[in-house]
Structure formats: C-alpha cells, structure tokens
Amino acid sequence: MTFWLRKHYLCPAWPDCPDRIPAAHRQSAMTELRQIFPDGPEGLLRYDIAPEVTAFSPLRDAVLPMRVVQAHQVHGDRVAVVTSAGTTREELEGYDALVTDVPGVAIGARTADCIPVLMYDPVRRVVAAVHSGWKGTVLKIAAKTLAVMASKYGTRAADILAVIGPGIGPDSFQVGPEVADAFLAAGFPETWYPSKKHSADDSEKTGSVTCSHSSTTQPHTGKDASFTQHSSGPAHNFPLEITGSTDSSPIDNHTIRLITDRGPRIPGSMSGGLHIDLPQAVRLTLIRAGVHDANVLISGIDTYTHPGFFSARREGPSCGRTVNTIMLNP
C-alpha cells in the first residue's frame, strides 16, 4: 500500500482519500497528492527532496529496496561519517546520526516513536540520517549533525533541505515533569512564535527565534550554537512545501506550544498531564542552527496513533523499527 501525504490529510489508499477531504479542497488535494508522491515501490512513504536523492520512511510491512547502513543507537548525540555500504551496526555502536557523501550508500535512522531527521546538502552533495528521541532532541543532535557536516564537508546550514519524518505527536507524547524540565533547561521555550522576528539576543532572552522564509533570517547564535552558522544564502524552493505539523498544537497561526500542561493526568490514557511537541522542538533546533524554515518538512504523522508505523509506546520496546532512509543516487 502506498501512502499519500498532504498538509492536513494522510490517506491510506488514493481511491478512498477524496471522501476524507472537504469538498472545497478535494480537487486541489488530488492534484497536490499526485505531484508530491508519484507511484513508487510498495509500502514506502517517499520524500521528493531532489532528483539526485532517494529518501523514504517504510511502512511497517515494507521490504527495504536496498541495503541501508544503520547504527546501534543509544539515544546520545554522536555522529558517524559513513564511507562504505558494507559498514555494520557493530562498527557503529553508540552513534545516533550518520552522514555520507558517497553516492549509492544508503544510511538510515531507526525509529519507533522517536523523531527521524533526513537532511540533504545539494551544494556539497552530502546526506544525513538522524535519530532524535527526546534525549537526543535535548542534546540537540540535529544541530550537532550539521556541525559535523560543516567541519567535514563545508556544509552551510542555509543550504540544507530537511525532512522530519513520522514520530510521536504532541497529543501522544505525555511526559513526566523531569522530561519537561530537561527541555526547559536545554533552552526550549514553552511557547514559540515562528513568524515573530527577533534578534539573536532576543532569542536567548525570550526563548523565541526568527522563523522567516526570507533570506534575511538571522539564526540563533546563543551559547547552545554548536558551529558557525551562515544565513545569507537564499531559501530553496523545496518541492514539499509542507512546513507545519498537523499535530503542532498551535494557539493561532503564529504560535506553537512546545510544552503544554493539559490538566490532571488520566491513568491508562494519554489525556491530561504534560505534553511535548517533539517534531516542532526538532524544527526549532534546525532553525536555530541556521536552516531556513521554508526548507523544513514535517510529515505530521503520529506513530503512536498511526497503525502503519512502529510505536514503542503503543507496542512495547521490543517492537520493530522504521528505517528512515536517505541516499545520494549513484
């Protein structure tokens, strides 16, 4: 089964999709879906990043169409440079992000609720696959991966095209106070204003950052910046112009709640308690590192509620893993 993605709708099969879309948007939705996801191998959620790149998230019963280099992930922030398609998981013990500039070498991030981040630098021709669970997000592993790409290949964050793939959504990511405290201590704000312009100093004081699609956007340059950012380059015309998660808990069009208190926790459910919007926290990390907001796609798929993807929270930690894959085409 091939899945089709649109900004506000995920359809398990194209013939059934129009019935789930309001009539006023049905025709444009059909056109947009066909443009974004052309027919491909069965069971792959494909990301049309660029013609020279293959990127996808497989559904739970899909067979990977190529060998994918994968790490033995530990919820840390170490980044490995991969140079061979024969690299084994044993050789990548303790890494949670992989980068490569070798065509034909597919790299993957293994997830089952954690957030996968796939990145492509079209200038230096480098790709990255990042496993960003809540611990990795607090450690800002996405920014640290960009730092490795910058030091190893000369990557500029402003050139990056990024996909934040299927992961646990804010309605499902109920956490304890120690997790919320860890995010606050790491500099994540409770409320984020993507469209509000701030200087770098204001971002540090208020917990907000600039998220303009303009080339004049200034990245966050506070004490958590892990490398020198460059923001003078133009934003790319990313083929997948879906920049908002369908589960982002917005207050209005200009406000995103990263951390919310939803009242008394209801035992045996995800209702109530503290919730974190993990995909949007990763998005904020990328933007603070200098990636243009227009070049970040959030899939908006909650793996806890969507049966097509593995979920450790729903199925237990021994469940399978989604191997989110990216490769420079040979």
Residues near 117 by beta carbon (within 8 Å), at least 6 away in sequence: 109, 128, 129, 130, 132, 142, 145, 162, 163, 164, 165, 282, 286
Predicted confidence at residue 208, as pLDDT, reads: 25
Least confident among 42-56, 181-195, 201-215, 251-265: 201-215
Average pLDDT over residues 243-260: 58
Of 31-40, 67-76, 297-306, the least confident: 31-40
Predicted pLDDT of residue 61: 85
- Closest of 25, 41, 170, 55 to residue 118, by C-alpha: 55
- Average pLDDT over all residues of the chain: 76
- 310 class by beta-carbon count within 10 Å (0-12 exposed, 13-18 middle, 19+ buried): buried
Q: Check residues 242 and 126 and name the one with the higher pLDDT.
A: 126
pLDDT band at 249 (very low <50, low <70, confident <90, very high): very low
Task: Report the pLDDT value the prediction gives residue 42, as an integer from 0 to 100.
Answer: 63
CB atoms within 10 A of CB 41: 13
Length of the chain: 330
Q: How far is CA 113 from CA 13, 15, 132, 164, 190, in A?
A: 23, 28, 10, 12, 21
Does the pLDDT at position 35 exceed 80?
no
Question: Which domains does the chain possess?
Answer: 1-39 (no CATH), 47-328 (3.60.140.10)
- The answer to whether the CB of 198 falls within 8 A of the CB of 206 is yes
Half-sphere exposure of 154 (CA within 13 A, CB side): 4
**pTM of the predicted protein model:** 0.74
pLDDT above 80 (res 248): no
- Pick the more confident residue, 324 or 26: 324
pLDDT tens sequence across 102-146: 999 999 999 999 999 999 999 999 999 999 999 999 999 999 999
pLDDT at 252: 46
In this prediction, residue 86 carries a pLDDT of 95
Q: What is the pLDDT of residues 179-225, one digit of tens each?
A: 999 999 999 999 988 765 433 333 333 222 222 222 222 222 223 22
The β-bridge relationship of strands 161-164 and 296-298 is: parallel
**CA-to-CA distance for 330 and 327, rounded, in angstroms?**
9
Model confidence at 33: pLDDT above 90: no
Give the model confidence (pLDDT) of 214-241 as tens digits: 222 222 222 322 222 222 233 333 232 2
What is the pLDDT confidence band of residue 4, given thresholds at 50, 70 and 90? very low
Confidence of residue 41 (pLDDT cuts 50, 70, 90): very low
Looking at the chain, the whole-number percentage of residues with pLDDT higher than 70 is 69
Q: How confident is the model at residue 311, as a pLDDT?
A: 95
pLDDT band at 97 (very low <50, low <70, confident <90, very high): very high
